[in-house]
Amino acid sequence: MTRRRERHGRGLRGRLLVQQATVGGRAVAVPAARSRSARFDDLVRDAISDLEERWHEQLEGVEFAVEDVPPPESGWDEGVVADETAGGPVPLGRLLPAAPGSPARVVVYRRPLEARATGRRDLGDLVHEVVVDQVAQLLGLDPDVIDPPD
């Protein structure tokens, strides 16, 4: 029998949380075990579902995507929502208009948004704001018409 020693005194290695638990005979995902990117995807889905309730017909066929970072040479056309407070423009989202054979696409960039958020609630608000801005640009309307302020 071989013993493994802890060479650097760091303790056991591996996951501390299980990915799934069985409750009442069915598998349920453990929320704390979700990755940051999976939680971000949920925020984007929430923002989209809020808008689709009101703008279902206009958003039919529109694709929504999440990318970690913007491409290095994404260009600065009208479809980019950028934060210009960081010493230079940083894309937070982008609208790719419909082209022959491909639908319109709204892309949200995860890492730049996470870097600007102070917490989970703030991140949710930023994601919602970027998605609303992109949908407003797609439909040619003011963001306050797309998502009226409370």
* pLDDT tens-digit series, residues 47-98: 999 898 889 999 999 999 999 988 876 555 666 666 666 666 778 899 888 8
pLDDT tops 90 at residue 4:
no
Q: What domain range is 53 assigned to?
A: 35-146
Which pTM does this prediction carry?
Answer: 0.74
Per-residue CA distances from 36 to 7, 49, 110, 111, 132 (Å): 30, 20, 10, 10, 22
- Residue 94 belongs to a domain with what CATH number? 3.30.2010.20
Instruction: Say how far apart CA 65 and CA 32 lie, in whole Å.
Output: 24
Note whether residue 59 is domain-resident: yes
DSSP 93: E
Tokens of 28: 């349920």
Note whether residue 90 is domain-resident: yes
Output the pLDDT for position 129: 93
Look at the chain and report how many structural domains it folds into. 1
Note whether residue 111 is domain-resident: yes
Note whether residue 30 is domain-resident: no
Output the pLDDT for position 86: 62
Output the pLDDT for position 16: 60
